[in-house]
Amino acid sequence: MTLRAVDADNWHGCIKLSVSDEQKKYVAENAESLAQAAYQKQWYPHAIYAEDTLVGFLMFGTDEETKRIELCRFMLDKQHQGKGYGKAALMMLLELIKIRYGAISFYTSIVPGNAAAEKLYESAGFVMTGEIMWDELVMKKELA
């Protein structure tokens, strides 16, 4: 597994990735995320690869409102779910965040009802904070 910055070579593949119809209510379109990153430079979009196959997309950075470092987008293509790629990519991201930012509180959020995302984040050590932002449940992991 590798995380690669989105660039001229892989952006188009990233926008072709998709989730199942049932999951679409939980995940923003990757094209929207890439547009956001183009105009809001505090966001860092990355492609998720298994070997040389593009399997997913994530984006992290600093929320302007809260000043928190957070994972704001995370998705695996429907053809590549259930293979352990999500957990592996999330663990790689946590290592990248520790290297880049040090010992911090790292945040993400989930749409209520997205049990699969909640389970994944909890398996990586995220806990619910009790906060609701953007109509989403906020989760946090302490990185040491």
Bridge partners for 69 per DSSP: 62
How far from the centroid of its chain's Cα atoms is residue 59's Cα?
5
Give the sheet arrangement for strand 2-5, strand by strand. 2-5, 43-50, 53-62, 69-76, 105-110, 136-142, 127-133
User: Does the active-site annotation cover 121?
Assistant: yes
139 φ/ψ angles, rounded to the nearest 5 degrees: -125, 155
Q: Which of 49, 85, 107, 121 is catalytic?
A: 121
Helix segments in the chain, DSSP class H? 11-16, 30-39, 85-101, 115-123
CB 43 within 8 A of CB 63: no
Any residues with CB less than 8 A from the CB of 96 and at least 6 apart, and which?
3
Which residues have a catalytic role annotated?
121
